[in-house]
Structure 1
Amino acid sequence: MAESTVWWIVTGLLVAAELATGTFYLLMLAIGAAAGALAAHAGLAFTGQIVAGAIVGGVAVVAAHLARRRRPGDPSARAERSVNLDVGETVQIDGWGPDGTAQIRYRGAQWTALHRPGAAPRPGPHRVVELVGSRLLVEPL
């Protein structure tokens, strides 16, 4: 069996494993294996094929990791209006306690409100941005 055929089989196995597990990095390694196959088609020695596959696969994995790290994370489901109907509602906060919480009356019950990090706690109208357990995370309007 030709060396390029072995590389293409490895590429297919890596793609199949990625489809089964959802691990994006396996797809990057499959790109490296495809580079090894192309190196075999170009007539490089087996060592050159290994080096080509390792360099291309390694660069692809590092690039995917850096791109993923730079991308902001998905918002929490607790902050989605379609999941939690309290998100986006307006509440009135009369004052904040020394622990950074406020006790408010909302929907006929007593709730604890937390201010969003980075927002200065001040009295007045606030918008609910997320439900954290049984507490409302709010930001000023």
Structure 2
Amino acid sequence: MDSLQIWVIVGVAMLIAELLSVTFVFLFLSVGAFVTALLSYMGLTPTVNSQLFCFSVISVLSLLALRKPLLQFSRRKNKTLEYSEYIGDKATVVQSIPPDGEGKVFYRGTEWIALSRKGHPIAMGSSVVIKKLDGIKLIVSDTEIETVE
């Protein structure tokens, strides 16, 4: 097996490892392996030592240059995946919501844990507006308080 095939196999293995880990580290090792395979194919790295050197340098440089922007892009993309379809909908309080605790609201045929958005107590039977979804909890605001503010 020649060095081109070995570097392509290493590159594919690193891509598979990246898919399993999602850390954006193996991706750059894969880039280094594929570029080294290309350089080996072109005859620019004839020895194993030169190939290992190129692999190391390319992997480290691409890691240092591109990992942070990719992580920021990934985080920014994940923030937009929140459920926004609930925001602005109305629900009915079925268990009063204390200023610093949890209550329950009835929304879309089921009861949800709810927290008061501004720390105001909300009485049972009140109508509330959903302001945010925090995991499995709804952050709500009393409709009467909303109209006053």
Task: Settle same-fold status: TM greater than 0.5.
Answer: yes
TM-score by length of 2: 0.53
Give the alignment partner of residue 83 of structure 2, picking from 72, 79, 84. 79
User: Contact 1:10 / 1:30 at 8 angstroms: preserved in 2?
Assistant: no
Give the alignment partner of residue 60 of structure 1, picking from 33, 48, 62. 62
Equivalenced residue count is 127
- Identify the residue that residue 36 of structure 1 maps to in structure 2: 36
Shift of 1:58: 1.9
SS at 1:79 equivalent: coil
User: Contact 2:12 / 2:30 at 8 angstroms: preserved in 1?
Assistant: no
1:13 aligns with 2:16: no
Looking at structure 1, the residues matched to 132 and 140 of structure 2 have their Cα atoms a distance apart, in angstroms, of: 5
User: Contact 1:131 / 1:137 at 8 angstroms: preserved in 2?
Assistant: yes
- What letter corresponds to residue 26 of structure 1 in structure 2? F
Looking at structure 1, the residues matched to 90 and 78 of structure 2 have their Cα atoms a distance apart, in angstroms, of: 24
Looking at structure 1, the residues matched to 26 and 108 of structure 2 have their Cα atoms a distance apart, in angstroms, of: 49
SS at 1:74 equivalent: helix
User: Contact 1:11 / 1:30 at 8 angstroms: preserved in 2?
Assistant: no
Cα displacement string for residues 46-86 of structure 1 (whole angstroms, at most 9, x for unaligned residues): 433322210111222344532343232625977364xxxxx
TM-score by length of 1: 0.55
The alignment's C-alpha RMSD in Å is 4.2
- Identify the residue that residue 19 of structure 2 maps to in structure 1: 22
Shift of 1:112: 3.3
Determine what percentage of the aligned residue pairs are the same residue: 18
Cα 1:50/1:68, change in 2 over 3 Å:
same
1:48 aligns with 2:50: yes
